[in-house]
Structure 1
Amino acid sequence: MTPVSYFPHKNNEMYVDDIAISDIAKQVKTPFYCYSSTAIETSYQEYKNAFSAQDALVCFAVKANSNQAVLATLAKLGSGADVVSMGEIRRAIAAGIPANKIVYSGVAKSQEEIHYALSLGILQFNVESEPELELISKVATSLNTTAAIAFRINPDVCAQTHAKISTGKAENKFGVPISKARIAYNQAAALPGIKIQGVDVHIGSQLTSLAPFAEAYQRIAELVTELRSDGHDISVVDVGGGLGITYLDEVIPSKQTYAEMVKAQLGHLNCKIILEPGRSLLGNAGILVSSVAFVKNGEERQFLMLDAGMNDLIRPSMYDAYHQIIAVNKGERELKTYDVVGPVCETGDTFAKARQVHESDAGDLIAIMSSGAYGAVMSSSYNTRLLAPEVMVKGSEFAVIRKRPSYEDIIKQDITPSWL
C-alpha cells in the first residue's frame, strides 16, 4: 500500500479510519505516533492469504515496532514473533504470542538470554556463528533439554538496498558463510543438546525487487539438498523478511507474487516456511504527527521548524531515508519549498531538504508518513526531550498505547553517587 492509503485526505483534512488527525491532536499533544489497527490487520492478512497454500508461519520482526498494542493485535491474528533480544522475547510473551511461535535471531545472544529462551521452549534459534552454537549446546545440556536450531546462512547475495540495512553480503557481520555451512552443520550434529531443524537466511531490508530473494533462496535450496545428503533432517526454511514498502513511488512486488516466488524456489523441499516481515507489516500503518514551531526565513531558503526531531524519528538522519511530509490540513494553500527540520541541537536534525509542502504557519499540523516501522522503537530522549507518545486507532476510537513520560520520570532514572 502507499503511504497515504490509510491516512487519506477528506475535504483537505487528513483522516485515519473514521477520525480526523486534528481531532486526536486536540487531546494528545504533538509530536505523537499514530497507527492504524486496520492497516496492521490488513497487511497481516495479505501475508496469510498469499501463503495459504504453503505450510507457513508469519513471525513479525519485533524490532520494527515492539509496542504491546501492536504485538497484541498481531497475536490475536495468529502471528508469531521474530526476536533479537531477551527483552523482545518478554514483550512478545506479554502480548500473548506463544513461545512455540517465537524465533530467536540476533548476532550476540548471551548465556542468560539463551537460558531464558530455552526455559520457555521457543520454536527455533537462528544461530549466527559456531561459538554461539557451542554456547547454546552448553546451556541446553545444563538444563537437560534440547535446542532446535537453524544456522543463519550468509549467501553472499547483494540485496540492492541501502548499505546500512544490507545483511547478506560476505563482508556483513551476519550469519555463517554458505561456503562453510556444511562444516557448521556437521559440528552441530556432534554437539549435545542440539536438534538440527532448519536453515535461515535474511539478506537485508527494504528490497524492491524479488531477484535478490530468488538468488538467495536458490542457493539455500541447493544447500538444503546437500545437508540432507549429509544426513541432516532439514524440515524448516526461514526465509527472513526484507520486502520493502512504498515511501514515495517505489513499486513493490505484491505479497502474492513474493509467495509464488518462494514456492517456486523452495516448494520442492516440502519444508515449513517461516517469514519474518517487519517494515512491510507496519511501515505504512503509522505516521509521526508534528506541529510547526516556527517558519524561519534563512539567507537562501525557508525552514519549516517542527516540534518533532531526530530523537523521535532518526531514519532520515541515520539512513538518509525519504519520508513523505504532508500537511494534515491542506486547505486551499499552495505548495512551497522548505527545508523541514527539528529542534534538536544537531545539523543532522533534518527530515528533508528543498521539499514541497503546502504553505504552513506556526501551529499547523504536519504528518511524516511511513513511520510505523523503525520509528518510535528507535527513538530516544536526546537533548532530554520527552519521548513521543503512541496512539492506535480502530474505526472511530483511539487509545494512547504509550504515554509521554514526564521530565521527572526521565531525571529520576539517574542516580547521584554518595560523594556528591
Structure 2
Amino acid sequence: MRHFAYRDGQLFAEDVPVAKMAEAVGTPFYCYSTATLERHFDVFAQSLEGLDALVCFAVKSNSNQAVISTLARRGAGADVVSLGELKRALAAGVPSERIVFSGVGKTREEMAAGLQAGIYQFNVESEPELDALSEVASGLGLTANIAFRVNPDVDAKTHAKISTGKAENKFGVPWDRAREIYARAAALPGIRVVGVDVHIGSQLTDLMPFEEAFARVGKLIQMLREDGHAIERADLGGGLGIPYYEDSEAPPLPIAYGAMVNRITHNWGVRLILEPGRLIVGNAGILVTRVIYVKQATKKTFVVVDAAMNDLIRPSLYDAHHDIAPVAEPQAITPRITATLVGPVCETGDTFATDREMPAVKEGDLVVLHSAGAYGAVMASTYNTRLLVPEVLVKGGEFAVVRPRPTYDDLIGLDRLPPWLNS
C-alpha cells in the first residue's frame, strides 16, 4: 500500500494533506510516514522468520529520534557508527543489548561509551582499533564482544561512493589475513571474539554479490571454529536497495533476500545480525519544496525551488534520481515541460534533476521529491547560511514536527568572536 498518494486532487501523506503541513510548517521540509516505516520493518523482519536474527536499523540512514523510536517499538535494534548515534539510539529507547557499533574510525571515547552502556557488539575494522579497544576495555575492567568486519573483496556493482566490500575500500580487515588477526584478538585482554561481520555496500539491486560474500563468510566461520574460536554470531550488514523511480531496476523483494539468507546460513549455527537502513526508511520520506521561479534560459527551462543541495545532497553527490511530483495532482490537460530542477545555492551542482520531463508548474506551487527518507536530513548542512529544514512525522490523520526549523539567531549564535574582535 502506498502511503503517499493523491486523493481528491491533492497529495496526502497517510491521511494528512501535504499542503496542510506546508502551510503549518513552511517549506522546505521532510515528511515521514509512520505506516511506511512500520510496514517496511515488518516485511523485512518477517522475511527472516525461522532464523535467529536481530534486525538493527542503520541509524546513519535517518537519525531522527522519532524514526528510531518508532522502529524500536517494533523490536528493532540499532547499528551505530558514532558516539552521537549511540546516544541517539539509547535516548530513543533502543536497549543497549540490541546495539551494534560499527565504523572504521572509532575513538577511545566512543569505545568507552559503548562498553559502559553494555552494547551487544563492536564490529572491529582494523588491528590498531583492536589494540585500542583492548586497552580501553581492560582499563575499565570490562570485556568487549567483537566481530571483525572482514573485507571479502566482492564487487557490489553499485555506485563507487557507496561500495564498501572491495579490496581497495577503506573498510574491514583483509580477507587473506583474517585467521591471523582473529588469533591475535583471542590473546588480548578485554576482548571476547564472538562473530564475523561483512558489509559490501549500499543500494544493491542484485542478490548475487550478497550470495558471494555470504558464502565466503560461511567458509571463514568454519575455518575459525577449526582454529578454536567460538563463533556464535554473523553480522551480514545491510545494503538491499529500493526502487527510486518507476523505471529503475527493481531490487529483489525482502522475501527473496530472506530466502537467500536462509538457504546460505541455515547450518551455520549462529545468531544473525542484519543492518537495513535505506530499505526501511528510504521510501518512507519525501522532501516538500515550493517553486520560487520558473526561469526560461537560452537553451533550458529552470524550475527554481526553495530546497537546495544542502537539504538533499544525494543528486549532487551520487548522481541520484528522485521522482519529482507536484502536490496538486496533474490533470489530463496539464501541459508537460522538460525542465531542470535547481535550488538557490550558489553552486552549479545544486541540481535535483536535469532535463526532466514533468508536469508544468508555476511560482508558488508545491513540489515533492520522493524516496528522500534515507540519507536526506542526516546529510544536510547549513551551507550558504541556510537553515536546516524541519522534519515532520505523520501517523494516520495526525502530524507532528519532530525536528523544528532553527532560527537565524540559533545558527549565527553558534559563532563566537575572539577577544580581539570584541573591543
Please give the TM-score of this superposition, normalised by the length of structure 1: 0.98
Q: Write the mapping of 1:338-349 to structure 2, written as runs, cut at 5 A.
A: 338-349=339-350
Q: Does 1:245 align with 2:242?
A: yes
Residue 211 of structure 1: how far off its partner (Å): 0.4
**Residues 361-411 of structure 1: CA deviation (Å, up to 9, x unaligned):** 000000001000000000011000011100000000000000000000000
The range that moved more, 331-340 or 152-161, is: 331-340
Find the aligned partners of 1:413 and 1:392 in 2 and give their Cα distance.
Answer: 27
Find the aligned partners of 2:57 and 2:37 in 1 and give their Cα distance.
Answer: 11
Q: Does 1:284 align with 2:270?
A: no
Find the aligned partners of 1:216 and 1:232 in 2 and give their Cα distance.
Answer: 21
Paired position in structure 2 for 1:334: 335
Are 1:148 and 1:196, in contact at CA under 8 Å, matched by a contact in 2? yes
Paired position in structure 2 for 1:380: 381
Find the aligned partners of 1:296 and 1:229 in 2 and give their Cα distance.
Answer: 68
Residue 330 of structure 1: how far off its partner (Å): 2.7
Are 1:103 and 1:123, in contact at CA under 8 Å, matched by a contact in 2? yes
Residue 247 of structure 1: how far off its partner (Å): 0.3
Find the aligned partners of 2:99 and 2:11 in 1 and give their Cα distance.
Answer: 37
Residue 264 of structure 1: how far off its partner (Å): 1.2
Paired position in structure 1 for 2:57: 60
Q: Does 1:95 align with 2:96?
A: no
Q: Secondary structure at the match of 1:419?
A: helix
Residue 177 of structure 1: how far off its partner (Å): 1.1
Find the aligned partners of 2:261 and 2:274 in 1 and give their Cα distance.
Answer: 10
Q: Secondary structure at the match of 1:185?
A: helix
State the one-letter code of the partner of 1:351.
Answer: F
Find the aligned partners of 1:250 and 1:23 in 2 and give their Cα distance.
Answer: 34
State the one-letter code of the partner of 1:166.
Answer: S
State the one-letter code of the partner of 1:384.
Answer: T
The range that moved more, 46-55 or 219-228, is: 46-55
State the one-letter code of the partner of 1:401.
Answer: V
State the one-letter code of the partner of 1:79.
Answer: A
Paired position in structure 2 for 1:119: 116
Residue 11 of structure 1: how far off its partner (Å): 3.4
Paired position in structure 1 for 2:223: 226
Paired position in structure 2 for 1:397: 398
Q: Write the mapping of 1:100-179 to structure 2, written as runs, cut at 5 A.
A: 100-179=97-176
**Residues 130-150 of structure 1: CA deviation (Å, up to 9, x unaligned):** 110011111111111110000
Residue 283 of structure 1: how far off its partner (Å): 0.2
Root-mean-square deviation over aligned CA pairs:
0.8
Q: Percent identity?
A: 55
Residue 252 of structure 1: how far off its partner (Å): 1.5
Residue 12 of structure 1: how far off its partner (Å): 3.1
Structure 2: tracts of 5 or more residues without a match = none
Q: Secondary structure at the match of 1:293?
A: strand
Q: Secondary structure at the match of 2:170?
A: coil
Q: Runs of at least 4 residues of structure 1 off by over 3 A?
A: none
State the one-letter code of the partner of 2:68.
Answer: L
Are 1:330 and 1:358, in contact at CA under 8 Å, matched by a contact in 2? no
Q: Does 1:308 align with 2:321?
A: no
Paired position in structure 2 for 1:370: 371
Find the aligned partners of 1:207 and 1:351 in 2 and give their Cα distance.
Answer: 22
Residue 334 of structure 1: how far off its partner (Å): 2.1
Paired position in structure 2 for 1:412: 413
State the one-letter code of the partner of 1:378.
Answer: M
State the one-letter code of the partner of 2:146.
Answer: I
Q: Secondary structure at the match of 2:267?
A: helix
Paired position in structure 1 for 2:39: 42
Find the aligned partners of 2:73 and 2:168 in 1 and give their Cα distance.
Answer: 39
Find the aligned partners of 1:335 and 1:155 in 2 and give their Cα distance.
Answer: 48
**Residues 215-266 of structure 1: CA deviation (Å, up to 9, x unaligned):** 0000000000000000000000000000000001321111111111111111
State the one-letter code of the partner of 1:189.
Answer: A
The range that moved more, 232-241 or 256-265, is: 256-265
Structure 1: tracts of 5 or more residues without a match = none
Are 1:153 and 1:181, in contact at CA under 8 Å, matched by a contact in 2? yes
Find the aligned partners of 2:372 and 2:62 in 1 and give their Cα distance.
Answer: 10
Residue 272 of structure 1: how far off its partner (Å): 0.3
Find the aligned partners of 2:84 and 2:398 in 1 and give their Cα distance.
Answer: 30
Residue 97 of structure 1: how far off its partner (Å): 0.2
Q: Secondary structure at the match of 2:266?
A: helix
Aligned length: 417
Q: Secondary structure at the match of 1:131?
A: helix
Find the aligned partners of 1:370 and 1:97 in 2 and give their Cα distance.
Answer: 25
Residue 19 of structure 1: how far off its partner (Å): 1.1
Find the aligned partners of 1:366 and 1:337 in 2 and give their Cα distance.
Answer: 15
Q: Does 1:358 align with 2:359?
A: yes
Find the aligned partners of 1:410 and 1:355 in 2 and give their Cα distance.
Answer: 34
State the one-letter code of the partner of 1:381.
Answer: T
Find the aligned partners of 2:348 and 2:78 in 1 and give their Cα distance.
Answer: 37
Find the aligned partners of 2:133 and 2:336 in 1 and give their Cα distance.
Answer: 57
Residue 357 of structure 1: how far off its partner (Å): 1.5
Find the aligned partners of 1:271 and 1:12 in 2 and give their Cα distance.
Answer: 51
**Residues 139-178 of structure 1: CA deviation (Å, up to 9, x unaligned):** 1111111100000010000001000000000000000011
Paired position in structure 2 for 1:14: 11
The range that moved more, 250-259 or 6-15, is: 6-15
Are 1:387 and 1:404, in contact at CA under 8 Å, matched by a contact in 2? yes
Find the aligned partners of 1:267 and 1:199 in 2 and give their Cα distance.
Answer: 16
**Residues 176-224 of structure 1: CA deviation (Å, up to 9, x unaligned):** 0111100110000110111000000000000000000000000000000
